[in-house]
Structure 1
Amino acid sequence: MSFGNYARKVRDRSLPYSRRVSALRSCVQLYRPIGFHATLGFLEEIAGPYQRDEAALLKALDVLLTSRAGWHADMRNYARKRRQAKQRGQRIPPINEVNPTGFPRIWYGAARPAALYALRYWSRNGLPALTATSDEIATTLGTLVTAVLSADGDLAPQQRQLVDATVADLQRRVRSDLWHHDQGAYYQAWNLLRIARLVKTASSHVQLGQ
């Protein structure tokens, strides 16, 4: 079923309330910019206890729809820029160009607060296991997560440079042939990259996705 169909079920007062809540969760399955559980938690933080309050449920859906609309607008804008670049002969996008197509990397409309929420979620669920290794990049990332949460996103310039370097290192690791000879290491690198991007968004002075 499509996102739109699930969204209509959320609004349908003729349905049992539990089914409407389940429909919201199905919407989040299809659009989860900071992960499924973190997205649900962030919606509850913004909208209130949607599991038992109808006004909060409808607000949560509206917040999710607004973010998703921002993502779709970003994808359309990216496609337009790529068409223009190809017309100028630039067939391959720059390596540092962010392609929003496929899945969103930020929460459109509330990028920094959502990233900070997701990092708090990760710090309670999964991050300790990911960073409890002899991997220098993983250890560095764990330190950066602690720093960005302690400072509520306000990192020093040197720390933001370290964030950029960590993201770049993990991108190279994910894009290598790691998948072919160590899938466990690949998935660890992929998850670390997700967290590093959250740190970058949380510490960015540019209002991403606004």
Structure 2
Amino acid sequence: MSFSAYARRVRDPALPHRRRVSALRSCVQLYRPIGFHATLSFLEEQAGSFQRDEAALLRALDALVASRLARRAELRRYAAARSAAKRRGRRSPGPDEPNPHHLRGYWYGAPGSAALHALRFWQRERRPALLPSLDPIEVRVDSCVSACLAAGGPLTPAQRQLLATAVDALDERIRPEVWRDDPAAYFRARDLLQVTRFVEIAAEAA
């Protein structure tokens, strides 16, 4: 079923509330800018307890729809810009030209607050599982997350450099041969890369 069909179910007052909540969760399965559970948590923070309150449920859906529409509009603008550039002979985008297709963890309309929420959610729900050891790269990522949350987003130049070195090291850990030799390490590094992306978004939006 499509996002729009699930959204209509969320808005249908004839359905039991639990089914409408289930429909919202299905919407989030299809559009989850900061991950499924973190997106639901952010919607509850923004809209209120949608599990029990109808007005909060509708506010949560409206917030999700607004972000999704903004992303779709950005993708259309990017496609139009690329088509115009190709007509002028520029077949490939420049290295500094942002591509919305590659934006991971970006909540259109509230990128900074959503990224900070995702980091708080990660610290609370995922960090204990991801950081049981003293791996220096994992410790570096954890340090950047703590600094970002403490400052409400901004990083110092030294912290930005620390984050950049962590990203470079994690990129090395998601090479194809790592996937073949140690899938668990690959997924661990991939998850931590997403965390670094949240830090980058929060820092840029500050």
Q: Are 1:179 and 1:186, in contact at CA under 8 Å, matched by a contact in 2?
A: yes
The structural deviation recorded for 1:162 is 2.5
Residue correspondence of structure 1 range 46-57 to structure 2 within 5 A: 46-57=46-57
Provide the secondary structure at the position in 1 that maps to 2:101. coil
| Gap change, CA 1:118 and 1:79, over 3 Å in 2 | same
Structure 2 residue 133 is the aligned partner of structure 1 residue 161: no
| Gap change, CA 1:185 and 1:84, over 3 Å in 2 | farther
| Gap change, CA 1:205 and 1:35, over 3 Å in 2 | closer
Q: Are 1:71 and 1:104, in contact at CA under 8 Å, matched by a contact in 2?
A: no
Structure 2 residue 9 is the aligned partner of structure 1 residue 9: yes
Whose helix fraction is larger, Structure 1's or Structure 2's?
2
The residue type equivalent to 1:59 in the other structure is: R
Equivalenced residue count is 206
Provide the secondary structure at the position in 2 that maps to 1:174. coil
> TM-score if structure 1 supplies the norm length?
0.87
Provide the secondary structure at the position in 2 that maps to 1:119. helix
Q: Are 2:29 and 2:36, in contact at CA under 8 Å, matched by a contact in 1?
A: yes
Separation (CA, whole Å) in 2 of partners of 1:167 and 1:35: 20
Q: Give CA deviations for 1:81-120 in whole Å, capped at 9, x if unaligned.
A: 3334444554444556543337753111111111111111
Counterpart residue number, 2:18: 18
Separation (CA, whole Å) in 1 of partners of 2:70 and 2:137: 32
The structural deviation recorded for 1:160 is 2.2
- Unaligned regions of 5+ residues in structure 2, if any? none
Provide the secondary structure at the position in 1 that maps to 2:55. helix
Counterpart residue number, 1:125: 125
| Gap change, CA 1:26 and 1:133, over 3 Å in 2 | same
The residue type equivalent to 2:54 in the other structure is: E
Q: Are 1:164 and 1:200, in contact at CA under 8 Å, matched by a contact in 2?
A: no
| Gap change, CA 1:62 and 1:157, over 3 Å in 2 | same
Separation (CA, whole Å) in 2 of partners of 1:75 and 1:166: 29
| Gap change, CA 1:105 and 1:91, over 3 Å in 2 | farther
Counterpart residue number, 1:110: 110
Counterpart residue number, 1:183: 183
Q: Are 1:6 and 1:27, in contact at CA under 8 Å, matched by a contact in 2?
A: yes
Tell me the C-alpha RMSD between the 2 structures: 2.2
User: Which moved further from structure 2: 176-185 or 44-53?
Assistant: 176-185
Separation (CA, whole Å) in 2 of partners of 1:94 and 1:133: 40
Provide the secondary structure at the position in 2 that maps to 1:126. helix
Separation (CA, whole Å) in 2 of partners of 1:140 and 1:122: 15
Counterpart residue number, 2:78: 78
The structural deviation recorded for 1:147 is 1.1
The structural deviation recorded for 1:129 is 2.7
The structural deviation recorded for 1:74 is 1.9
